[in-house]
Amino acid sequence: MLHIRPVSDLRNKFPEIETAVKDGQPVFLTKNGYGVMVVMSLEKYAELTDDIERKLDEADLAAADSDVRYTHEEVFSRLNDLPFVLSTNAKPPKKPRAEMFGCLRGEYKIADDFDAPLDDFKEYME
C-alpha cells in the first residue's frame, strides 16, 4: 500500500510514519498537494543505493587505470542513443503561479447575449 501523507504529519503523527517506515514501506510526503520528499528506512535506502555505489567504485578504479576521459557531451550523447534511457533534456514541471484577480483579463471574451434565454427553453418561459 502506498503511504502518502502531508509533510505536517512528520510533526503531528510521527509514530504512524515511523511504524510504516519500520515495516519497510516508504512514506511519500506532500506539501500543498505536491510531492516533496520520501521517508524510508536506512535499510531500504541502502538496498536502493548499494549497487550504484559499488558501480561508481568500479568506475573510479577503471578511471584510475586509464588515461581516457570523456566530456559530459560525449557521455550524454551516447546515453541519448540508447533506446531504454529517457531524454536528458526533460524539464521539471512548472510551478503553478499564484492566482490573482485580473490575471486573465483580456484572455476570454463573453458574448453579449451570454445570459439571454435559449431558444430551446422558450416554451417553458411563457
What's the pLDDT tens digit per position in 47-64? 889 999 999 999 899 889
- Domain annotation for the chain: domains and CATH numbers: 3-69 (3.40.1620.10)
Q: Cα separation of 96 and 48, whole Å? A: 31
Contacts of 51 (CB under 8 A, 6+ apart): none
Q: What is the pLDDT at residue 78? A: 80
What pTM value is reported for the model? 0.48
Per-residue pLDDT band for 83 (boundaries 50, 70, 90) equals: low
Per-residue pLDDT band for 94 (boundaries 50, 70, 90) equals: low
Task: Look at residue 33 and tell me whether its pLDDT is greater than 90.
Answer: no
Asked which of 8-17, 64-73, 106-115 is least confident by mean pLDDT, the reply is 106-115
What's the pLDDT tens digit per position in 65-75? 988 888 888 88
